[in-house]
Every structure is written in C-alpha cells, then in structure tokens.
Structure 1
Amino acid sequence: MFSIDRLRALSTVATHGSIARAAETLHITPSGLSQKLAKLEREAGHRLLEPHGRSIRLTHAGRVLAGHAERLLSALTSAEADLADLHDEVLGPLRIGGVGSAVRTLLPRALDALAEEHPRLRPTVTDGEAVELMPFLLSGEIDLLLIESWANRPTFLPEGLTLRTLVSEDVCVALSARHPLSSRESLDLAELGDIPWASCPPGTEPYESLVQALRARGVEPEVRYTLTEHITQLSMVERNLAAALVPTMSRSPAPSGVRFARLRPGLRRDIQAAWLASTENPPVRACITAIEKAGPARPQYDG
C-alpha cells in the first residue's frame, strides 16, 4: 500500500516542478524529499522521475500516479473539512490576500462580522495584484485570494482552484473636469486617442485590460503613469495629466475635479474569491459567507 506522505511528496513535485521548491513547500530538506520519492518508486515498481536539463520531470508512470495522488489527497482534505464542520469550530489562522479595491471595500465589514461570530479566528490580510499573490496561494502561504477578472481579458487561472464571483461591476473612464469631453455621460475609447493614461503596472489585469480595450478601438495606448492604487491614478486624472479606467468600487473617494463617463461599448470587472480546492477549510468558507452577506461598501462619488 502506498504511503500518503510519499504520495503527497510526489503530488507536490508535480505541482512545483522541482525537488527544491517542493521540499520548501513541505518544510523538509531536498534530500529527505528525494528519499521519500525513492521509496515510493520501489513501492510502485516504476520509475517516477527522470532528469530534464538541470531539473527533473515526471515520467508517464509518475504522471499517472500523481493524478491518483491528487484525487486521493483532495478526498482526504474534504474528509478532514467535514469532520471539522461537525464541531462547527471556525478558529485558527486565515491568511487572506487581495487586490486593493477588493480589500478596501469588501473585507472590513466582513472581518468585523467574523470577529463577532468567530472570536477564535485569526485573520491576516495582504494586498497586492493577483499576478504577485497567486504563487503564494498555490504554495499554501495564502488561504484565500480576492482577484479581479476583466471581461475583455478573463484571468487565466491554474488548475485546482475553486472560484466564487463576489461582485460584478461596470468600468468607467475617468477624466479631469478640465477635459473637453468631461461633461459627456458616455464615451467611446476611440474618442480619447490623444490623451495619456494612468494604470496599474504592466502585467497586472487592469493594465492589460486597458491596453486591449484601447487597441480594440483602434488606439495605441500611451500609459505614462503606472501606479498601483486607483486613488493615486485619479490624482493624475484630476490635473488633466491622464485618463484612467476605473471600476465602480474604486471610484470612492474620488478627487472633486474628476468626472466619470460610461464606456461604449461597455466593460465590466468581476471580483472573485479563489482558493485551493485541496485545502478548503471552515475558515475559508466562513470568510466567503461573511463577504457575501456584508456586500461591498456603498461608493460615494460625483458624476
């Protein structure tokens, strides 16, 4: 019979693609992990790993067994979660990561409710872009991640994640009140071909969505200001230095000299909760329920 511990070692190597990273994730030495894999090969009667350049890769037999291992570990995790639910105890650490606007508008009221209902829960929060935080979710260093997915550029997600859409919202274009088109209720991005843009850094969902949206309307974007926070982008917009694409949740607080217009054609952004299906637990489920009950904070902004 195969050892669960050794199957977990193989599954972790399959996920991370290297002995060193898998060992770090499992908090053991690379030599200790190699010994587990060698014993598993003897149990399986097949070679499970082979050299690949300076690294290793799974053989066909390794991939077959890793697939069974992943399903078995997922079933064991579900069993553990079900047993934990029998006691109805939501306690211990809950490590949350998320994009700034979601953290600011969705989490505070939800965490307040969780503190009332589950005082033994210990949540921690880290903000950042999904491209930065996703590796921490996949390695188990974050339990729950709030990500954004823009309609014209849906977020690519690795296998093994569970998703729940929490908010779906419109995206508007922000202009300075000094801009000639600022009084318009709606705008086509093709009308803004001569203005610089402010957005999040390259590689992030907002940046790539902006670039694709502009190119789809025949405009080659000039993203002059790469700023992580929407509120900082809006400070540039207010001075008529740039335009910006801003989702509803990020419109508050907006500087008084900023105006918003709907896009033609429209554009939407979803905020989604993502977590590893294999590590789902009562704290994660309790947090998602609290977010859904609380809903986003109501934005306060000018037209």
Structure 2
Amino acid sequence: MFTLDRLRALAAVAAHGSIAQAARSMHMTPSGVSQQLAKLEREAGHPLLEPHGRSVRLTHAGRILADHADRLLAQLAAAQADLADLGDEVLGPLRIGGVGSAVRTLLPEALAALVAAHPRLAPTVVDGEAIDLLPLLLNGELDLLLIESWANRPLPVPEGVTQRQLVSEAVYVALSERHPLADRDTVDLAELADTVWACCPPGTEPYEALVQSLRARGVEPDIRYAVAEHPTQLALVARGLATSLIPAMSRYPAPPAVRFLLTHPPLRRDIRAAWLTRSESPPVRACVAVLTV
C-alpha cells in the first residue's frame, strides 16, 4: 500500500527535478526523501529513479506513478477544502504547534477565550522549533503554528503556507550582573568576541540567527550550552557561565542577577501564525482572530 508521505516525496522530485530541491520544499533532509523513495520503489515493484548526470530523473514507471500521485494529492486537497467549507461552526480538534516562548506568552489567554466562546472546540498544543514543526504542518499532523522569524535570518516558508504576523519584538543580550559590560544600556556584538554563549540547539532559528549576527560583526561564536528553553539559558547567564540572546517576551521571569542590553546593530524577532492555505478551517480562523486582537 502506497503511503501519502512517499507519494508526496515522488511528486516533489518530479516537480523540482532533484532530491535536494524536493527535500528543501518538504522541509526534510535529502536522506529522508531518499528513504521514502526507496520504500516506494519496493512497494511499486519497479525502479522509479535513475541516475542523470549528477542528479536523478524519473523512469517511465516513476513518471506514471508521479502522475497518479499528483492527481491523488490534488483530490485530497480538494476534499479537505470541501470539508472545511461545510460550515463556519468552530468545533472539533485544533492541533497547534509553537515555539516555547510564544506558547507560554501568547497561547494561554487566547485559548481560554477561544474555548469559552466555543465549548465544542478541542485544542491540543505541542512546543518545538520551526525546523521540526513545519514538516508536521505540511504533512497534515498540525493545523496551526506559532513560529519565529529573525530579521537578520528570515524563516523560509514553503509555498502554500499562509502567515500572519502576531508580534515584532526587540532581542536583548542577557549578561550576568558581574559581567564588565552589565552596567551598559546597549552593547556592540563585536565587543563579545571572547564570550561563551548559551543558545537553542543547532539547526534552530535562534541558533542560526545568533551565529549569523556574531559573524557579521567579525566574531566566531563559542556556543557551549545548547538548551532549548530560555529560562534554562537565563539560569546559566545568572551564574556567569554564559551569555544569551533573549527576545523581549522571554525576559520575564528572569533571575535577579541577569541584565538585559539592547544590541548594536539592533536585532528583532517576529512571531507569526502559519497554516496551510488549502486547509484553513473555522477553528484556525477563530484562533488566528483571537491571537491578533
């Protein structure tokens, strides 16, 4: 039995002409796409790809199956849109994924108002980073995301995803009160050349934004603490073990021994709601409306 994920992988290779481009469009790794295609070949009983220069191309069997996959995925999208249009009643599941700071700061009040207004709505929430959440949205496992995009490293979002900005905020350098620069209001990132950093894990938007910000000022970052939660990063900062980049909404609560300085050049972070355009439903619309009030 062919699975939708494997058919999506084949359709993406057919549309983009390479496994690497298909992987980028699906927010997957090339090896992950290759694994899906290998399983699909075994299920199909025919080779679906063949070498073509440094890349690959579809075989005759691959083109036939990709054509069927395109029609099947189009029919599935149409079915989802038809069901979403059955009515405007806000009920049933609403599966939300979001970065931790946005989940903690924006969602509780919004969900409380939403559930009070629509008692038959059943929201669920998972936290995580955009790199992990976007594939779940694209695969239909989540309905709505709260994702971050840093001004110096805008988040690439695939076609077919609608975004709505919710918050635009300043980003601060968090220093221990014992740091020589702690009494300042602003700090040039070039002044932090010998600093040890705490940041979210590699591959996440905060990590890449930190690396690019420092390298732009001629500093090679020394990131020794890879922890996802801002409160944990601030605990390390308070003990003088590290420095961290902290968005405005994550400054509170913070240990009293932490000082926050604006950066030069200034850094900003946006929080955005994101959902599949074709799968916009009454629950998604209602939640976005509450979040943007």
| Structure 2 CA distance for partners of 1:234 and 1:11, relative to 1, 3 Å | closer
Q: Provide Cα deviations, 1:225-268, integer angstroms capped at 9, x if missing partner.
A: 11110110011111111110000111111110000011111111
Q: Which residue of 2 aligns with 1:116?
A: 116
Q: Which residue of 1 aligns with 2:49?
A: 52
Structure 1 contact 8–73 (Cα < 8 Å) conserved = no
SS at match of 1:83: coil
Alignment of 1:207-222 (within 5 A): 207-222=207-222
Distance 2:181 2:35 in 1: 57
Q: Which residue of 2 aligns with 1:296?
A: none
Q: Find 1:83's aligned residue among 77, 82, 86.
A: 86
Distance 2:75 2:223 in 1: 48
How far 1:160 moved relative to its partner?
A: 1.6
Give percent identity, aligned residues only.
Answer: 57
Distance 2:36 2:196 in 1: 44
| Structure 2 CA distance for partners of 1:280 and 1:257, relative to 1, 3 Å | same
Unaligned 5+ segments in structure 2 are 13-25, 27-32
Range that drifts further, 117-126 or 273-282: 273-282
Q: Provide Cα deviations, 1:150-190, integer angstroms capped at 9, x if missing partner.
A: 01111112222111111111101110100010011011100
Structure 1 contact 73–278 (Cα < 8 Å) conserved = no
Alignment of 1:220-239 (within 5 A): 220-239=220-239
Unaligned 5+ segments in structure 1 are 1-6, 25-29, 35-48, 294-303
How far 1:19 moved relative to its partner?
A: 10
How far 1:80 moved relative to its partner?
A: 3.6
Alignment of 1:282-293 (within 5 A): 282-293=282-293
Distance 2:35 2:77 in 1: 21
TM-score (norm 1): 0.77
Q: Which residue of 2 aligns with 1:140?
A: 140
Distance 1:198 1:106 in 2: 24
Structure 2 contact 50–58 (Cα < 8 Å) conserved = no
Structure 2 contact 198–226 (Cα < 8 Å) conserved = yes
Structure 2 contact 9–36 (Cα < 8 Å) conserved = no
Range that drifts further, 169-178 or 129-138: 129-138
SS at match of 1:178: coil
Instruction: Specify the code of the residue in structure 1 equivalent to 2:245.
Output: L
Instruction: Specify the code of the residue in structure 2 equivalent to 1:270.
Output: D
| Structure 2 CA distance for partners of 1:230 and 1:9, relative to 1, 3 Å | closer
Structure 1 contact 11–69 (Cα < 8 Å) conserved = no
Mark the structure with the bigger radius of gyration.
1
How far 1:81 moved relative to its partner?
A: 2.8
RMSD between superposed Cα atoms in Å: 3.2
TM-score (norm 2): 0.79
| Structure 2 CA distance for partners of 1:116 and 1:185, relative to 1, 3 Å | same
How far 1:215 moved relative to its partner?
A: 0.3
Q: Provide Cα deviations, 1:250-303, integer angstroms capped at 9, x if missing partner.
A: 11111100000111111110111111112111111111111122xxxxxxxxxx
How far 1:18 moved relative to its partner?
A: 8.1
Structure 2 contact 273–288 (Cα < 8 Å) conserved = yes
Q: Which residue of 2 aligns with 1:174?
A: 174
Q: Provide Cα deviations, 1:132-155, integer angstroms capped at 9, x if missing partner.
A: 222211111111111111011111
How far 1:213 moved relative to its partner?
A: 0.2
Q: Which residue of 2 aligns with 1:107?
A: 107
| Structure 2 CA distance for partners of 1:169 and 1:10, relative to 1, 3 Å | same
